[in-house]
Structure 1
Amino acid sequence: MTFRLLFFSLLATAMGQSVVMTTLPPLGREVGLSEFNVAFLMSSSAMMYAVGNAFWSRIGKRRGYRRLLITGLTGYTIGTLIFASVWLTGFQGWLVGSALFIALLFSRTAQATIMSATPPSVVGMAIAISSEKERVKAISKVSSAHSLGQILGPTFAGLMVSFHLLAPLYGITLMTLIAVVLVWRFLPVEHGQPASVAPSKAIQPGSRSIQPYVPLLIGMNASVFLAIAMMQQSLAFFLIDHHKLTTTEAAQAVGLAMMLSAICALTVQITLVQRTSMHPGNLVKIAFPLLSIGYLIIYLHQQTPHLYMAMLFLGSGLGISYPAIAALASSSCKPENQATVTGFITASPAMGYIIGPPVAATLYGIGHRMPFIAASVLLAIVTVIAITHLRARPTPPSTSVD
């Protein structure tokens, strides 16, 4: 029951985030915001999200993950409702220009500050109630909710935008509200407390061969989401400017592309990550080349089917990279530092979203395809770093196969 509730909680927020990323660029175009305005909205909210992740991780360690999860879900529900309503004032012409942008910025950053409590509480609880041997599978189980959310979110957005561009934002608040009620009603209180004793005994013996590389792993994870942020910031604008789609058509096309990527990520997590005995370090070395190839195909693509093929590579790489990096980092630190490391891992996607959108907006001004090749080169470099620096050894008495 606990894993199902954690899964649904992360699924609800992942759907909400994918809905926002699918609709934000078309919404910006519709009310007259520039690419840099949209990029600043993404970047500033991501900054608050990253800061909030580190803060809430420490709070969860002291006060319990259940309370933290309820806080994050409640903040997400109320924040999304306010954010959508501010957009509505722009559509109605009640707020325009700088006033609209400032209102959007304030509402989105306030929402990000509170909703950032959800990922560290979910991942922290999954780590706390699982053994070290099962940790990568436990993290994969809950993080696969993120992949499923990216499948259902764009699909949901694509259906709802046919009614109105804001309909997906209002609709997603209902799902996060349901998640709040379910967690409050059914998640056992004892599962919401940090269970540090059992994991400490499992982790205590010996140090890991990759222990000094925890900051490197965090940087690698941030690089993955920096590239994703660059793609999400640019793709809808590219479809509008290059393929001459309308804002609604662009939202639907981006939604379909993200859905295909998420389907592939979820499939990989279920069929490979949750079943393999391969060491997480070796999984990381598989993930990054797939990601680099995916962005290269987006850069080279001329027709829409090529774009969708690229999403299969991106989905495969993303489905492998996050649970492998999270498991590798959490098992490579002392028990007393585990909450801090968990906070940094769950915050690292936001770190990528801080830098990615403004960089993408700048590159997009130089050339519409530049953000995609920049993402490909970045991940190619990270691939080389992973291969040369992550020489992980199986930890006895592990039966993992290198």
Structure 2
Amino acid sequence: MARVRFSIFFSVFVAMVGLMIIAPVMPPLIRELGLSETHSGLIISLGSVAMAAMAPVWGGLSDAKGRKPVIVIGFLGMFVSYVLFTFTMYAGLTRLISGGLLVVLLIVARALVGLFIPAVPSSAQAYMADVTDEKGRSAGMALIGAANGMGLVLGPAIAGAFALIGLIWPLYIGALLPIVALVFVLLLVPAHKPVIQAKPPKVSPFQKGVRLYLFAGLATMLSIVTLQVVGGFYFQDQLSLTTQETARMISFGLMLSGVAMIVTQGLQMKKPKWQPTPLILVGSLLLIISMALFLFAVGFVGFYAAFFLFGIGAGLMMPGFMAGASLAVAREQQGGVAGLVGSVQGISAVIAPILSTSLYRLDKQLPFAVVAGVVLLMAITLLSVKNKPARSQLFTNKKD
């Protein structure tokens, strides 16, 4: 069991690092290629669209074909697509390719990365559901959340370290990591029979029970992406910082949030009695408080406190919505619902940058106010659908 959990953790961690390692070097690479910010946004957005579209497909395949084969295919596809993306970048930097052809090839390569990456977390989440019972489901999903958090923190850090050698070096590492993870999966993950032998029963995002937790997932991921996208602009404007000071502050703040998220999920793994509803509600409260601090704090201490509370809140909500969605469906539908969770994350990566930057142009405080409103609406909806006792059953072992 321990080796399976480690393999699941490592697989999700590598997939998240593979996703995040591109982000810090994309802006300078795009400018080195002579392309515009619009091209960068198009390349990243279409990759996120591919993630959103393919996550449910991979989840369903893991139900029908088995978790391990889909994870293996995911890592092989990640390797090939990263090699293509890196080669295209190299060809552009050395002026072997330029203009419209370069843009098209970068879009195709990034879309392939987005196509294969969700195969890993969708199958891994379903695998975790297979090896945990209802009482331990939240703790199991907290392990996946911790892998996401570590990837979120270490991905940009790894990119920054290797970028000191050369801007394209993080892409070389991005291509190498899937092969390393593939070896771990082949050696440590036991063969796992498909949970269904016929056509997989489809899971609808509007299915009773599932839709509520997908809403919670959407609120959580919108919060995270919004902070990543407009945080730097906001703090620079609020505190009159230079670009270098802003970069240092946002980097430290996001790292603080990531550490808080990892610690919170680590504690959840050791204290597995909290169930999805209370995890989401407590996390929502902390997220709303953090948004209030972002809006009304006047100095570095207040903003860093907001980052820390944000990390704790997100660290509670992430395993909450993943476990809740998992517990809302049958064993034969675990891959399908894991795919929907992955799709929600992809959708958030598509709409949050557009929405948050548009709101920021209207008023710099609007993105944080809207995020707080969405989280509050989600929490109220959760309370209205679930029975009131769910709010006080913080240590219940019963399925919500």
Q: Using the TM superposition, give the Cα deviation of residue 309 of structure 1 relative to its aligned residue in structure 2, in angstroms.
A: 2.9
Structure 1 partner of 2:181? 179
Aligned CA-pair RMSD = 3.2
Aligned pair in 2 of structure 1 residues 315, 48: CA closer, same or farther (>3 Å)? Answer: same
Instruction: Determine if the alignment matches structure 1 residue 319 to structure 2 residue 312.
Output: no
Aligned pair in 2 of structure 1 residues 6, 272: CA closer, same or farther (>3 Å)? Answer: closer
Aligned pair in 2 of structure 1 residues 106, 152: CA closer, same or farther (>3 Å)? Answer: same
Deviations 1:109-132 (A, max 9, x none): 111111220011101111112222
Deviations 1:324-359 (A, max 9, x none): 111112112234433322221232111211211222
Structure 1 partner of 2:283? 287
Q: Using the TM superposition, give the Cα deviation of residue 233 of structure 1 relative to its aligned residue in structure 2, in angstroms.
A: 2.8
The separation in 2 between residues aligned to 1:100 and 1:373, in whole angstroms, is 39
Instruction: Determine if the alignment matches structure 1 residue 193 to structure 2 residue 193.
Output: yes
Which residue among 127, 130, 134 is the counterpart of 1:128? 130
Structure 1 partner of 2:325? 329
Q: Using the TM superposition, give the Cα deviation of residue 225 of structure 1 relative to its aligned residue in structure 2, in angstroms.
A: 1.2
Residues 225 and 350 in structure 1, CA contact (< 8 A), matched pair in contact too = no
Q: Which moved more, 1:376-385 or 1:22-31?
A: 22-31
The separation in 1 between residues aligned to 2:399 and 2:335, in whole angstroms, is 28
Q: Which moved more, 1:287-296 or 1:256-265?
A: 287-296
- What are structure 2's unaligned runs of at least 5 residues? 198-206
The separation in 1 between residues aligned to 2:246 and 2:97, in whole angstroms, is 24
The separation in 2 between residues aligned to 1:187 and 1:87, in whole angstroms, is 34
Structure 2 partner of 1:169? 171
One-letter identity of the residue aligned with 2:284: F
Aligned residues: percent identity? 23
- Once the two structures are superposed, the pairs formed by residues 25-174 of structure 1 within 5 Å of their partners are 25=27, 27-28=29-30, 34-92=36-94, 98-174=100-176
Deviations 1:12-63 (A, max 9, x none): 1122223233444454466565554444333322221121111111111111
Structure 2 partner of 1:6? 8
Deviations 1:293-348 (A, max 9, x none): 33443455665554433221221111111211111121122344333222212321
Aligned pair in 2 of structure 1 residues 367, 78: CA closer, same or farther (>3 Å)? Answer: farther
- Once the two structures are superposed, the pairs formed by residues 218-237 of structure 1 within 5 Å of their partners are 218-236=214-232
The separation in 2 between residues aligned to 1:185 and 1:148, in whole angstroms, is 23
Residues 39 and 233 in structure 1, CA contact (< 8 A), matched pair in contact too = no
Instruction: Give the TM-score normalised by the residue count of structure 1.
Output: 0.83
Structure 2 partner of 1:272? 268
The separation in 2 between residues aligned to 1:215 and 1:343, in whole angstroms, is 13
Residues 135 and 398 in structure 2, CA contact (< 8 A), matched pair in contact too = no
Q: Which moved more, 1:123-132 or 1:308-317?
A: 308-317
The separation in 2 between residues aligned to 1:45 and 1:335, in whole angstroms, is 30
The separation in 2 between residues aligned to 1:34 and 1:292, in whole angstroms, is 35
Deviations 1:273-309 (A, max 9, x none): 5404233211110112222333443455665554433
Which residue among 18, 21, 45 is the counterpart of 1:19? 21
Q: 1:212 is paired with a residue of what secondary structure?
A: coil
Report the count of equivalent residues: 383
Residues 136 and 274 in structure 1, CA contact (< 8 A), matched pair in contact too = no
Aligned pair in 2 of structure 1 residues 75, 223: CA closer, same or farther (>3 Å)? Answer: same
Q: Using the TM superposition, give the Cα deviation of residue 145 of structure 1 relative to its aligned residue in structure 2, in angstroms.
A: 1.2
Deviations 1:132-157 (A, max 9, x none): 22222222223321112223223223
Q: Which moved more, 1:288-297 or 1:50-59?
A: 288-297
One-letter identity of the residue aligned with 1:349: Q
Aligned pair in 2 of structure 1 residues 84, 371: CA closer, same or farther (>3 Å)? Answer: farther
Structure 1 partner of 2:204? none
- What are structure 1's unaligned runs of at least 5 residues? 198-210
The separation in 1 between residues aligned to 2:293 and 2:263, in whole angstroms, is 21
Structure 2 partner of 1:371? 367
One-letter identity of the residue aligned with 1:380: L
Structure 1 partner of 2:334? 338
Aligned pair in 2 of structure 1 residues 276, 298: CA closer, same or farther (>3 Å)? Answer: same
